[in-house]
């Protein structure tokens, strides 16, 4: 749902870069899950004490973060909320987390790999697909290349080649 940009002030507040189309909705969740930079550590719960929008970012005060040094330890870390607290995705919409792990198959029935991450570089989301041998493909998540997503079958059909 977001990434910690930096500490804010001296009282343990965080500046958050929201990774959602409606940033203010993150402030409606009373419990945030935090993971340190690198994404290899465990998620840790923190209660949202206070928060507000600040331009394109959010400012948040979380339980257990009492000073700038405590907040600075989370710089570059991830912010999430429990999926059960989110509304269901609409028709033709997907939570990015639901796409991670899905097999990616092209029109020639070739397995290209699995979605390792969904990234947004501004213009549109991009699927980061990792093949069994370790090759990485970056496939734009746009109608021109995505033929279909079947969450139940755990696959994404694409118009893409392994050598793109």
pLDDT digits (tens, 9 = 90+) for 68-92: 999 999 999 999 999 888 888 888 8
For the chain, which domains are there? Answer: 2-84 (2.40.30.60), 96-158 (2.30.30.240)
Task: Say how far residue 50 (Cα) sits from the centre of its chain.
Answer: 22
**142 φ/ψ angles, rounded to the nearest 5 degrees:** -135, 155
pLDDT digits (tens, 9 = 90+) for 39-60: 778 999 999 999 999 998 999 9
Task: Enumerate residue ranges in the chain where pLDDT < 50.
Answer: none
């Amino acid at each position: 749902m977001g990434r910690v940009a930096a500490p804010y002030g001296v009282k343990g507040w965080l500046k958050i870069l929201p990774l959602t189309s409606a940033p203010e909705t993150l402030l409606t969740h009373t419990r945030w899950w935090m993971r340190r930079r690198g994404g290899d550590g465990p998620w840790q719960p923190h209660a949202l004490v206070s928060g507000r929008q600040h331009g394109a970012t959010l400012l948040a005060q979380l339980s257990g973060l009492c000073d700038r040094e405590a907040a600075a330890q989370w710089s570059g870390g991830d912010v999430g909320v429990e999926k059960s607290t989110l509304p269901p995705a609409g028709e033709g919409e997907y939570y990015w987390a639901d796409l991670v792990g899905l097999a990616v198959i092209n029109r020639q029935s070739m397995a290209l790999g699995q979605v390792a991450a969904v990234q947004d570089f501004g213009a549109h989301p991009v699927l980061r697909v990792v093949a069994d041998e370790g090759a990485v493909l970056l496939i734009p998540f746009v109608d021109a290349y995505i033929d279909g997503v079947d969450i139940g079958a755990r696959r994404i059909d694409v118009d893409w080649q392994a050598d793109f």
